[in-house]
Structure 1
Amino acid sequence: MVGVSACGSSESVASNGPVATTIVATPATDSQRAGVTTTLASPIGALVRDQNGALLEGAPVAWAVLSGGGSVSLGISASAANGEAATVWTLGRTAGVQRVTATLVSGVSDTIIAIGTAGAAAVFALVDGDNQTVTVGQTSAPLQVRALDQYGNVVPSLAVTWSTTAGTLSALQNTTGTNGVASVTLQPAMGAQVVTARLATGASLTFNVRGQ
């Protein structure tokens, strides 16, 4: 009698777990506004999903400032049970759009933006229009001033009050534009006159215009 031995084999099947596949900036924390060098009111976040589209907990996310010169409180943070990883962002000195990237281990990333707004006017300067001689009945070239914050960012929407010792100004009050500049023109009287531009802080500048 010949015995036949049957050999049974078992196959080990590897089960792949969830893998961090996509990352998207959390809409509610994107595009916040704050003054330059200040911390955003809310932490910024990014949602991590696995290969099946489910929100994923425990995925490491690396945070890096892409532009604007600010800083984040955490260089790496893990996604929470709701799939969101978060960090606190302090803006840099540059007014306008600043950017931070949120990156998965795989290299997949998304960008979060914030808008830095200029600080209070620290510099109030003449741009153009001083020392003009204008024919009476004609209009001067624009008398221009510019406002900048302490970091050199232009300060828009800043009220400027204008006055003159003689002649007629095109406006007695206006505001700086997106380039930080405010301007008026003058229809001079005969002789010398002084035009003054003044901020609410008391800072002032003068232009000399002579009518002939």
Structure 2
Amino acid sequence: MRSVRPTYLLAVLFTAIPTLIAFPGCTKTVEAPAASRLTIVQGHLQQAAAGTLLPTPIVLRAYGTDGAPIANIPVSFNVLAGGGSVDPATAKSDANGEVKARWTLGPGSQVQTVVGSAPGVEPITLSALGVLPSDIVIAQGNNQSAKINAALPVQLVLRVTGGNNVPIPGQTVALAITAGGGSLSPQSAVTNALGEVTVRWTLGPQAGLQTATATSGTVGSITITAVGN
């Protein structure tokens, strides 16, 4: 009978049942990437009407211990003041080490802040100014004239603004006739993205000066005039 060499038996065992044999110390542990710091690329110190989306996305960049941008770092955004939201709230850095998100400011607050954080590094804070409504102006249509009982040739356009003439959307403007009769359509409207509402004014039967008012929340009211012929 032919003898079987021990080395041949070992080869058969290793080939047939490799899962039964394990060698301590042969498993290589792959460490997760680690960041050393975060920086702001863009989006800090913006301003927009409170309750609206900031015009520029916020972008943070993660760096590794070698000082180069690093990918696959989870970065979270948390609103610290002002309310609002950030989308996405958590994301991983891309090949450039960057994470991009859109920041919608909270309503009713000027001071707005968001904190960006990643495991093992110092959090970083971004700030924005929420502009609140402060004025209502007549953008178009004041001091017109038309026949009595007729619509003015140019529609009224009223604009609600904040500091630095920032348009304020989402504000209710109420309108009312105060002299001369006539009608306004609509009598109430919400400002659009430009902070504006458009209104058609049909004069009343009274010849001469006719007036209307437009009011918006705490901003106050403004008087609009026309002449009926």
Q: Decide: shared fold, TM above 0.5.
A: yes
Tell me how large the CA RMSD over aligned residues is.
4.2
Matched letter for residue 101 of structure 2:
I
User: What is the TM-score with the length of structure 1 in the denominator?
Assistant: 0.55
- Pair 186,106 (structure 1): closer, same or farther in 2 beyond 3 Å: closer
Q: Give me the identity figure in percent.
A: 18
Alignment check: 8 A CA contact 1:60 1:104 kept: no
Alignment check: 8 A CA contact 2:150 2:202 kept: yes
The answer to whether structure 1 residue 173 and structure 2 residue 191 are counterparts is: no
Q: 1:26-105 to 2 correspondence within 5 Å?
A: 58-67=34-43, 69=45, 84-86=74-76
Higher helix share: 2
Larger Rg: 2
- In structure 2, runs of 5+ residues without a counterpart are 1-27, 47-57, 65-72, 107-129
- In structure 1, runs of 5+ residues without a counterpart are 1-14, 21-57, 92-96
Residues 164-200 of structure 1: CA distance to partner in whole angstroms, max 9, x if unpaired?
Answer: 1122212222221121012312111332101111123
What count of residue pairs does the alignment treat as equivalent? 154
| Structure 1 equivalent of residue 159 of structure 2 | 146
- Pair 106,75 (structure 1): closer, same or farther in 2 beyond 3 Å: closer
Write the distance in 2 (CA, Å) between the matches of 1:104 and 1:61: 13
Moved more, 112-121 or 174-183: 112-121
Write the distance in 1 (CA, Å) between the matches of 2:143 and 2:95: 63
User: What is the TM-score with the length of structure 2 in the denominator?
Assistant: 0.52
Matched letter for residue 226 of structure 2:
V
| Structure 2 equivalent of residue 125 of structure 1 | 137
Alignment check: 8 A CA contact 1:62 1:75 kept: yes
- Pair 200,108 (structure 1): closer, same or farther in 2 beyond 3 Å: closer
